[in-house]
Chain A
């Protein structure tokens, strides 16, 4: 219905346009582009003031180096060479890379599974379940992490209370051996509901006649799910993959909030972003922090660009 009206409105315009004279058309277009610019202006101002300018300033800062005993001196790209040979920075990078490699598939699998199940349900329960699964995303990450800090607590957390029933000691999920899984759980809980909603929305956008056709062809529910639904929502999957990639490489909020209850497992160099934060605000080294942030930004940008380039044909994002 909506499509039909859209066509009706635009078609007279497209037919009248060629009839107009050449000069008039140029004037019109210039006027139109000026009006267009006016619409873009508010965004452009914000974009320049809050993204481009800080980026340039950070880059400028990253070219200097400051020592407590020496003051600020121009350092060129020395901060960058320092960063990529800094074991603390590389340790953090290695952690988020490993984390992303495990987390992203887990998150996508969980959110896809949830969305497919909810899409298949037609009861009132499905609406309630959808809300409940989405709810964690509505809770600010800091609050969520603090709650997990309580749930993981080795003294009065529910895990320990269950373990107490059999007189055992529950594992502390933030100790060095478990922190990987412990954080994975927190992040998946936080984000899976959000990704689920994106996938679910994409599933709802599929025309039901497609399923009917598949069923007539004799496809089972499983076949419909994996051969029809999943390929048709691949652009949504790609989108959340990019979101997850960016988010994980910038991993900050959850470990930062859980740092206080981690008994020292989560160090000030735990992830690159936490390291940049510590360098800037704890060690007063804004220059090195800028270099780290900038390097991280470049890595994320390249990773996402390469990724989108490689997948441009499969998804509709290109």
Chain B
């Protein structure tokens, strides 16, 4: 166990160090920085690709962070004589968004196609950085995706990205801890709190975690209770509705604040070395997370050695068992940037990069994604699959497929980065006992409204 912790620690340290170094920008990145394309529509030759091309066809540059990206890119390139992908991984999450935002502001440096999470699309489309893909045939692939998945990448009648994977949420838990303390997977949040108290009273581990660095997950949990944080329609780009302190949002924050203050859940930021080592070491009985979590946990060393064969997943606890609500955390999509030299060719890549059966199968079989393509979602093989991480549990059939099927989609505001940063600060204050859930929600509302107004939005509260 010690070995795996150290391995994890050095791994994360390495990642941190690398991401610190990774600021050396990708200067070939944007087609826009290169000379204009010729009439034939060929994109200029790019030089800093991580992968090898299969032929001399015109190239499209892509930023993507997905762990099995190399396989996916090779699959795509092998199947295309009209276009080749030049792929580069510039980091994930805030690392990538910082680079994307800087390239947008600089008006050069973006790749032709970029992998983004759905909650950031409107932040970039409002800055005219993303291409509406409808004229480039986005609706041709619309039937491949569920309504919720498509809504997440659309704004009004515009479509800004092609979905790749989703993050329907469930409750991942440790069977060994549940068995030892005689609890069953909670069906409601009330049961969740009761079980947490019961396990703690018996001297057991923390039941879950209120990580301040996962505001997107807590926003999803608020939406589950009925909150509608933002209203936004790009047809009327200056109007923004902000409702971050409605009763549902406050209830969810108060609920977690209570668990945190009673010491029933941890206060550790997630995805850190400390958190992962805690997960491996049995410090947390549950992990409220999305369908992509097993892949990331496995990659970080969870589910091996001591923590092998102890994981299972149950549907996300509900507020009202009679009216279950499914929510989504994360997931990704491929967008074409307005800096792309050849937008048509870039759209071919965005639509096709994750559409071939080999790539999709590689993704879900290795548990690194929960694909949104219906060709997989509707297949018996996917539904019946016995997930390795969950010791052969049919996780897709039992938890994730129903969750994905019931997901309705969310409207995200074009100020996601700022909103998440402020939300994170409030979650940290809750964890340190400085504010109640009510106060956090009110502060957040006031802060975001003020910011949105300073950005020129007409805010409806």
Contacts and interface: CB of A to CB of B under 8 A. Distances in A.
B417 A146 contact: no
Closest 5 A-B residue pairs measured CB to CB? A264-B428, A70-B456, A67-B456, A264-B212, A69-B456
Contacts of A282: 94, 97-98, 101, 417-418, 421
Contacts of B213: 260, 263-264
14 contacts: A68-B414, A68-B457, A69-B126, A69-B455, A69-B456, A82-B454, A146-B13, A176-B432, A260-B16, A262-B269, A263-B267, A264-B431, A265-B428, A267-B424
Contacts of B425: 264, 267-268
Given A67-B454, A69-B238, A263 B212 contact: yes
Given A69-B455, A177-B432, 15 more contacts: A67-B454, A68-B457, A150-B9, A154-B268, A155-B274, A155-B283, A156-B5, A156-B9, A261-B272, A261-B273, A262-B269, A263-B431, A267-B425, A282-B418, A283-B101
A176 B17 CA distance: 25
Provide the main secondary structure of the chain B interface: helix
B460 interface: no
Provide the main secondary structure of the chain A interface: loop
Nearest to A73: B456
Interface of A: 67-71, 82, 142-143, 146, 150, 153-156, 175-177, 257, 260-265, 267-268, 278, 281-284, 286
Q: Report the interface size class on chain B.
A: 35 or more
Given A146-B13, A282-B101, A154 B428 contact: no
Nearest to B237: A69
Nearest to A65: B454
A177 B267 CA distance: 14
A70 B455 CA distance: 7
Contacts of B417: 282-283
Contacts, number: 109
B105 A278 contact: no
Interface string B86-102: 00000000100110011
Interface of B: 5, 9, 13, 16-17, 20, 94, 97-98, 101-102, 104-105, 123, 126-127, 211-213, 237-238, 240, 267-269, 272-274, 277-278, 281, 283, 414-415, 417-418, 421, 424-425, 427-428, 431-432, 434, 454-457
B318 to A, nearest CB: 28
Contacts of B283: 155
Nearest to B6: A156
Nearest to A283: B418
A88 to B, nearest CB: 9
A68 B269 contact: no
A236 B397 CA distance: 72
Contact of B428 (A68, A82, A267, A281): A267
Given A142-B17, A176-B432, A264-B424, A69 B457 contact: yes
Given A70-B455, A263-B428, A282-B421, A176 B434 contact: yes
B272 to A, nearest CB: 6
A142 B20 contact: yes
B98 A281 contact: yes
A62 to B, nearest CB: 15
Given A146-B13, A263-B431, A268 B421 contact: yes
Nearest to B270: A263
A261 B431 CA distance: 15
B200 to A, nearest CB: 15
Contacts of A175: 432
A249 B277 CA distance: 36
Contact of B274 (A68, A153, A264): A153
Contacts of B126: 68-69
Contacts of B212: 263-264
A264 B98 contact: no
Nearest to B212: A264
Contact of B273 (A68, A153, A283): A153
Nearest to B104: A284
Nearest to A288: B454
B269 A264 contact: yes
B101 to A, nearest CB: 5
Contact of A286 (B16, B105, B427): B105
B79 to A, nearest CB: 37
Contacts of B415: 68
B360 to A, nearest CB: 32
A150 B455 CA distance: 39
A108 B101 CA distance: 41
A291 to B, nearest CB: 13
B254 to A, nearest CB: 18
A175 to B, nearest CB: 7
